[in-house]
Amino acid sequence: MKTVQFREVIAFAFLLVGQAAFSQEKLPQLGHAPVGEIVKKMTLEEKASVIAGTGMRFQGHGTVIGEADGRVPGAAGNTMSLTRFGIPGTVLSDGPAGVRIDPFHKGDSSKSYYATAWPVGTLLASSWDTSLVKKVGIGFGNEIKEYGVDVILAPGMNIQRNPLNGRNFEYFSEDPYVSGYMAAAMVNGIQSNGVGTSIKHFAANNQESNRNSVSAIISERALREIYLRGFEIAVRRAQPMTVMSSYNKINGTYTSESNDLLTKILREEWGFKGMVMTDWFGGHDPVAQMKAGNDLLEPGTPRQQQAIIDAVKNGTLDVKVLDQNVERVLTYILKTPSFKKYNYSNLPDLKAHAALARKAAADGMVLLKNNNAALPLNKGLKVALFGIASYKTITGGTGSGEVNVAYVVSIEDGLSHTGYTPDQGLKSKYDAQIQDDLKAHPKKMLTLGTPRLVPELDLNANDIQKAAEQNDVAILTISRNAGEGADRKVADFNLSDAEKVQVKTIADAFHAKSKKLIIVLNIGGVIETVSWKDNADAILLAWQPGLEAGNSVADVLSGSVNPSGKLAQTFPVKYEDVPSAKSFPGTPVDRPAESIYNEGIYVGYRYFNTFGVKTAYPFGYGLSYTKFAYSNLKLSSPVFGKKLAASITITNTGKVAGKEVVELYVSAPHVSLDKPSEELKAFGKTGLLKPGQSQTLTLTLNPKDLASFNTSASAWIANAGKYVVKIGASSEDIKLSKPFSLVKSITVEKVHKALVPQVAIDELKK
Ligand code: BGC
């Protein structure tokens, strides 16, 4: 009896294997058959599984980790595999400042998987150097690939509408042109490795307060010119493999459910060819998401899959729509290293990447003040180093934009490596404070909300006095940190009373001995500077510079790198001067349902310049250890034809080699629409010019650079009239200008009527 049963089982097994082989043969395989053929053979359940990721599990101490096939622990999510069609799973990982994966694998502590913490987006933008950002992208992309990741959930490129947005550090600028060009450079660099990017968060995710459901109420013009323009530039110039829709609504509709945004604008107008994915658990209605063109739901839930299946069955979702979403996911998978079975090493060249991070960070730091050539500092000096972040330097912000790093070079380490001698008494006090704090508050893997900082040491006047006697110079680091899940408060924008007292006490003690105070800002977002800046001899805005932080700071302070960064956002005199200060983060304030962007197009310098509001440091501003002369501005023609080229000669008239960022602004004629007094339309950066050396840069204007979005015509129109090219060292420091004219108005582009606000917006007008 037993034998018979066994034989039967064997026979049945053969039958099954035979059938499987037979059906396998007949089934189209990804890469061998057109994706449409594969989709035709899929069951409805299989289709529903392809458009949803495989979910997330929650680990200890509040950490959320994507399943990612278990291949890359710590990755944020993945796509589903379907072996009968030869479809592999793919891996999606955060984030904008480096690959956010677990540094160790369970049961294997012999090997680590640390990643490079690159300088944050805000710092990279401050370099105004797209070729440098592309280089960072190339290194970053190699690391993504060698750690087995298919798509990096980056770059972040929302507009820095308000300084309090907790995620500003992940983003580039208040200006869409800078944001778009930086993002394009990063995407092109990363994707040159054959891995993908996901530009995010599309769009108008300009705050963390109630980010999951707040509705950003924005005029069509402000959307087109400010909040979408950077994404448009990035899509047109770099074709990111994927786009991540945002959590928020725009004018009442979740972005992930907006056909206007994801289909009409992104695909039909801009020609986006890739796949759109949600932000994690973003949006509300999976069926509406499919219809909108949001192809992939991340991290994916069984409930979403079921909703799709039900909707197809009850006729509320046309299966053709779903088929198209599935096709887009499959087309994406075809491009990935996972599909190509790339044999990743888990051994990226971390040393080379650290060297690149160090260089990029130094190139994006901004010298805000340098009275009487306080900087650079002679080597060998004894330095009284103040501020927690001098010893525990902040590499980047928190949340999904944080990176697990093997080490951080603190400012103290960097100065020591460079031949300075930090005061040991101060060091031991600060080290003790940091150690005590670490014991009381061990580091968590992923923190959402306002991050905790080690409290500043409350040094007394005697300690400071002693330090002034024993050292040659004071360096004080002022720090801030923020991240996903919470916006900053005005109190975080301002320095506390204690901080201000400390700045003044240190300044007085050192100045009394004719010694200088250098202030380093280790911050991820804009802060108030006017109330204390007079106390400092020099201020270096170091931003959050990544893992080589201290080396980069020391490179600049010592003069081995001449600072060449400029601000990609305005530093206002006070928070209340920011045009969105009254409406941010919306109403009701504790959990805003609505955020009305009534400053319209007047974001950042567009506001400060047009309305003549004084700034602390304007957009585009940054000093150097040398000086530059601007001369010989020439336009290719006094009349705009199809294009117009402006050339300008920059000469290093100082004593040390340096690089200069050149900004091209355009003033447009006021015909029918309100216009900012000037808008950035092109920029360039010289190479390293030796003293006396010149370089001529040529910057080009296209018709769209002259156009404004005309809402009633749903078109980008460049009005006939007199324009002015203004070449500036900052938005407030215009060195040379020249007029040109446009004889006949041009309708540059006619677009869809889309994303129309349903409520009246009382928009700011000049
Ligand atoms: C963030 C995204 C991130 C995703 C995956 C979300 O909470 O908003 O930026 O890529 O999580 O970690």
pLDDT band (50, 70, 90) for residue 445: low
Pocket test for ligand 1, best of 149, 153, 447 (most atoms within 8 A of CB): 153
761, burial (CB in 10 Å: exposed 0-12, middle 13-18, buried 19+): middle
pLDDT for 15 equals 42
Give the distance (Å) from ligand 1 centre to CA of residue 280. Answer: 6
CA gap 757, 679 in Å, rounded:
25
Give the distance (Å) from ligand 1 centre to CA of residue 279. Answer: 6
pLDDT in tens, 319-376: 999 999 999 999 999 999 999 999 999 999 999 999 999 999 999 999 999 999 999 9
Count other Cβ atoms within 10 Å, centred on residue 591.
Answer: 12
The amino acid at 720: A
Residue owning the nearest CA to atom 6 of ligand 1? 280
Residue 455 preceded by cis peptide, ω within 30 = no
pLDDT(66) > 70: no
pLDDT in tens, 547-567: 999 999 999 999 999 999 999
Cβ 478 under 6 angstroms from ligand 1: no
pLDDT in tens, 586-603: 999 999 999 999 999 999
Can you tell me the mean pLDDT for 493-513? 98
CA gap 448, 742 in Å, rounded:
51
Cβ 100 under 6 angstroms from ligand 1: no
Q: Which residues of 395-410 are buried (b: 16+ CB within 10 A; e: fewer)?
A: bbbbbbbbbbbeebbb
Catalytic residue flag (residue 487)? no
Which range, of 179-188, 315-324, 434-443, 622-631, averages the lowest pLDDT? 434-443
pLDDT for 672 equals 83
pLDDT for 238 equals 98
CA nearest 327: which of 45, 26, 42, 23?
A: 42
pLDDT(10) > 50: no
Cβ 446 under 6 angstroms from ligand 1: no
pLDDT for 63 equals 46
pLDDT for 56 equals 78
pLDDT for 65 equals 54
Can you tell me the mean pLDDT for 236-242? 98
The amino acid at 205: N
Residue pair 339/100 in contact by the 8 Å Cβ criterion:
no
pLDDT(728) > 80: yes
pLDDT for 21 equals 46
Give the distance (Å) from ligand 1 centre to CA of residue 162. Answer: 20
Cβ 400 under 6 angstroms from ligand 1: yes
pLDDT(175) > 70: yes
Cβ 158 under 6 angstroms from ligand 1: no
SS3 73: coil
pLDDT band (50, 70, 90) for residue 700: very high
pLDDT in tens, 510-537: 999 999 999 999 999 999 999 999 999 9
Q: Domains in the chain, please, with CATH?
A: 2-334 (3.20.20.300), 605-750 (2.60.40.10)
pLDDT(217) > 70: yes
Distance of CA 326 to the CA centre of its chain: 29
pLDDT for 442 equals 85
Q: Whole-prediction pTM value? A: 0.96
Cβ 202 under 6 angstroms from ligand 1: no
Can you tell me the mean pLDDT for 72-94? 94
Residue owning the nearest CA to atom 11 of ligand 1? 280
CA gap 365, 568 in Å, rounded:
11
pLDDT(17) > 60: no
pLDDT in tens, 306-324: 999 999 999 999 999 999 9
Cβ 402 under 6 angstroms from ligand 1: no
Atom of ligand 1 minimally distant from the CA of 170: 9
Can you tell me the mean pLDDT for 141-161? 98
Choice among 279, 295, 487, 537 that is catalytic: 279
CA gap 18, 24 in Å, rounded:
10
Bridge-partner residues for 108, per DSSP?
Answer: 105
pLDDT for 20 equals 45
pLDDT band (50, 70, 90) for residue 6: very low
Give the distance (Å) from ligand 1 centre to CA of residue 495. Answer: 30
Residue pair 725/740 in contact by the 8 Å Cβ criterion:
yes
CA torsion 419-424-430-433 (nearest 10°) is 140
pLDDT for 67 equals 54
Cβ 171 under 6 angstroms from ligand 1: no
CA angle 201, 205, 211 (to 5 degrees): 110
Can you tell me the mean pLDDT for 372-400? 97
pLDDT(2) > 60: no
pLDDT in tens, 21-37: 444 458 999 999 999 99
Tokens of 74: 């710590």
Tokens of 22: 């037979």
pLDDT(144) > 50: yes
Q: Between the CA of residue 331 and those of 39, 242, 295, 426, what are the distances in Å? A: 11, 11, 11, 58
Q: Between the CA of residue 368 and those of 530, 531, 538, 542, what are the distances in Å? A: 12, 15, 7, 10
Q: Between the CA of residue 35 and those of 91, 195, 269, what are the distances in Å? A: 20, 20, 24
pLDDT for 57 equals 67
Return mean pLDDT, the chain: 94
Can you tell me the mean pLDDT for 387-412? 96
